[in-house]
Amino acid sequence: MDKIVIGADHGGFELKNEVISHLKEKGYEVTDVGTFSADSCDYPVYARKVTDKIVSKECDKGIIICGTGIGVSMTANKVKGIRAALCHDVFSAEATRLHNDANVLTMGARVVGPGLALMIVDTFLNTEFSNESRHIRRVNMIEDD
């Protein structure tokens, strides 16, 4: 089973806790890098704490939540080796695993409710990369400098 790292700013704090409970019920090992309260904080700090754990290979996949999912997605995608996908629907969560081999899911807690968010998380974590040659080629092109 994948090791999951999760982080959020104050906008995503409550949803983060719901996602953690959900994943622990399913038996996942989850590393929570904060934030640990609803006090205002800076989303890039928590996005980078998540990406650090992926880059170091301590964890396999990451989930980052802020108000919109946009700021954390922008931050995460600056990091080499990170393919962060902002998903607010189940189709995108499946497609980004199949086609982009995304290793980080980002969501906005002010955009989706918890029911949909958990379906998105499940879909993201349960979908394997297609491993089709055209998708491997395109994913490799993302990393080309």
Residue among 35 and 101 whose Cβ is closer to ligand RB5: 35
Q: Is 59 a catalytic residue?
A: no
Residue among 43 and 124 whose Cβ is closer to ligand RB5: 43
Cβ distance 87 to 111 under 8 Å?
A: no
What is the sign of the dihedral through the CA atoms of 95, 96, 100 and 101?
negative
Q: What is the rounded distance in angstroms from the CA atom of residue 44 to the CA atom of residue 41?
A: 9
The three-point CA angle 15-92-133 to 5° equals: 130
Q: Is 66 a catalytic residue?
A: yes
Catalytic residue among 22, 88, 99, 135: 99
Q: Does 75 bind ligand RB5 (CB under 6 A)?
A: no
Residues 119-138 that bind ligand RB5 (CB under 6 A): none
The correct pick among 66, 82, 87, 93 for binding ligand RB5 (CB under 6 A) is 66
> Pairing state of beta strands 61-66 and 104-108?
parallel
Residue among 68 and 123 whose Cβ is closer to ligand RB5: 68
Residues involved in catalysis: 66, 99
